[in-house]
Chains A and B, each alone.
Chain A
């Protein structure tokens, strides 16, 4: 199966994963047997004991476990976290940023925020209003060109945002809700067919927004200076120190070509039209 810039082979005997793959990845092509595979991943019980007593599952990449095992019912979220790990620790021909990426009119919008700020919820809201999903979690900035490469995997939603996104309408398809993870309840939203089909089409960033959901809050948009944004994005980069000078250049290039805003809001109904206005008016 394609997984961002890589091809992964997934082995599992978990029904939760089989179900999740069928529902959320159904538009993804299967790579023919015998083609080059970048990573062999497996989700399975860590040992005989843990397949029986308080069953657990572990994520294994080429036989090695980057995380501690989790209870068995969390198999699908674990696969998703594992695939994020595979990309963020190996895609070093890119500057890897913790950010959602959407595209409209050939130009990309990046949403970057700490966990719990409502980034994924906003990402789902923008996808629903017609933006193309490039990624919910990882912005892969090509070092050579500055373009962002799509990942187009499911959007990860937590707790109340699951119902907020479900309420958006009929074209939204969510996977099984998995309660009691370390992040609370988790569910994934299927990426639209168009995003999956166009997963080889990168886009040049034009906007960078730092969103922050404030319960009961009013819409507030502020522009952000490039130096401040730089320091904040270094914090959101997975491989900044790893890449050294080329990461500095890539990030500086990104900030030079984007309009940068901080946005706090209390409701998707406020922020989605505001972003539409911002990006439509910005005729650069």
Chain B
């Protein structure tokens, strides 16, 4: 049984997929579940899932305490993200540029189920490339300061990445990432950022007049961004990001024309591969409800043969929670491979070589 659980994404994934599994846990099982959820940054989501599945009552008191504290924290985070976004809006008001909220902040202000129980490490926004300098200066004026001090990293972000170096607010300590598109241009995938902005939707809800220029990505683009972010990166918060995708697909997937639209946008943006990965792994780990045709199409579009098998082997392990109960030698190897792969995907070989040489030389200083 232990091995089976591990291959599905750990005990945490099994319980998130089916909260009724929690009824079978003994005290040691709860210790492992809470430990995995804590390391995956998913205690709040676990609280939500257990509560909605009617299984919160079976948690022993000591486990319940961690879950309740995480839930309270996620509620405070939700308020804090709104507060932070209002500050960003105030700083950018005079510029009159469209601002798109990305990832966690978008789930939160878009009132999406993916925000339930989630905590946020930073706020991500996207603005038109042409407005980047004006936006950066307006933020610096309003008290944000660059986190990255050294010249190489500054140049690296500005020249090669899809975002400027992270900014930290001098008094609130909050971190803000300003993007101009959703994937690093060096990855060779270059979605039309103008089209992403045009398709973005205004934030709905009462009391949002202050956020007049603020938008969230259209549902399909939001999912593609989330998939690209997860499958082009090193799976640092892999399971949490996959759960975000699961909740987005679950929420938007019941709309009639959604899947056709999603596939169309994936082709236009060049993100069909990460989308197929997202669909396959969400279904495998969280049993996301999918139309039969979509499941078959996604499976068929993944690489086959030895490469496909290797890829599957690596992704299954990289998506496990980073916890001693899941850390065997093969998992460590898979994580290392995922790390190497993320750099390979993000940069052409020549640039990668220069980048790694720079990092290696600087590490010695």
- Which A residues are closer than 8 A to B by beta carbons? 7, 34-40, 62-64, 90, 92-93, 242, 244
Contacts and interface: CB of A to CB of B under 8 A. Distances in A.
A92 B63 contact: no
A35 B327 CA distance: 23
Given A34-B26, A36-B31, 12 more contacts: A35-B27, A36-B27, A36-B28, A62-B38, A62-B323, A62-B324, A63-B39, A63-B324, A63-B327, A64-B322, A92-B72, A93-B69
A38 B31 CA distance: 6
A34 B27 contact: yes
Contacts of B65: 93
A7 B324 contact: no
Nearest to A91: B69
Most chain B CB within 10 A, of A63, A93, A242, is at: A63
A39 B35 CA distance: 7
A244 B38 CA distance: 21
B30 interface: yes
Contacts of B327: 63
Given A34-B28, A63-B327, A7 B69 contact: no
Going nearest first, the 5 A-B pairs with the smallest beta carbon separation are A63-B324, A36-B27, A37-B31, A36-B62, A62-B35
Interface in B64-83: 65-66, 69, 72-73, 76
Given A34-B28, A36-B31, A64 B39 contact: yes
B60 interface: yes
Contacts of B63: 36
B126 to A, nearest CB: 28
Interface string B4-22: 0000000000000000000
Given A36-B63, A63-B324, A92 B69 contact: yes
A142 B76 CA distance: 19
Q: What does DSSP make chain B's interface, helix, strand, loop or mixed? A: helix
Contacts of B73: 92, 242
B142 to A, nearest CB: 20
Contacts, number: 42
Contacts of B35: 39-40, 62
Given A36-B60, A92-B69, A63 B27 contact: no
A93 to B, nearest CB: 6
Contact of B322 (A40, A63, A93): A63
Nearest to B76: A244
A92 B26 CA distance: 25
B324 to A, nearest CB: 4
A34 B28 CA distance: 5
A36 B30 contact: yes
Interface residues of B, number: 22
B323 A63 contact: yes
A34 B31 CA distance: 9
Nearest to B173: A241
Nearest to A38: B62
A38 B324 contact: no
Nearest to B66: A38
Interface string B124-137: 00000000000000
B62 A62 contact: no
Contact of B324 (A35, A40, A244): A40
A216 to B, nearest CB: 41
26 contacts: A34-B26, A35-B27, A36-B28, A36-B30, A36-B60, A37-B28, A37-B31, A38-B31, A38-B34, A38-B62, A38-B66, A39-B35, A40-B31, A40-B35, A62-B38, A62-B323, A62-B324, A63-B39, A63-B322, A63-B323, A63-B324, A63-B327, A64-B39, A92-B69, A93-B65, A93-B69
Contacts of A242: 73
B285 to A, nearest CB: 21
B29 to A, nearest CB: 10
Interface string B39-64: 10000000000000000000010110
A76 B161 CA distance: 45
A67 B63 CA distance: 26
A38 B35 CA distance: 8
A90 B34 CA distance: 13
Nearest to B61: A36
B264 to A, nearest CB: 42
Contacts of A63: 39, 322-324, 327
A64 B327 CA distance: 12
B54 to A, nearest CB: 21
A64 B36 CA distance: 12
Nearest to A241: B173
B28 A62 contact: no
Nearest to B69: A92
Contacts of A39: 35
Most chain B CB within 10 A, of A62, A92, A244, is at: A62
Contacts of A92: 69, 72-73
Contacts of B26: 34
Contacts of B27: 34-36
A93 B73 CA distance: 11
A38 B27 CA distance: 10
B39 A7 contact: no
A36 B60 CA distance: 8
Contact of A7 (B62, B72, B323): B62
Contacts of B30: 36
A63 B76 CA distance: 27
Most chain B CB within 10 A, of A38, A90, A93, A242, is at: A38
Nearest to A7: B62
Interface in B134-184: none
A267 B287 CA distance: 68
Nearest to B72: A92
A236 to B, nearest CB: 18
Interface in B83-102: none
A3 to B, nearest CB: 13
B159 to A, nearest CB: 32
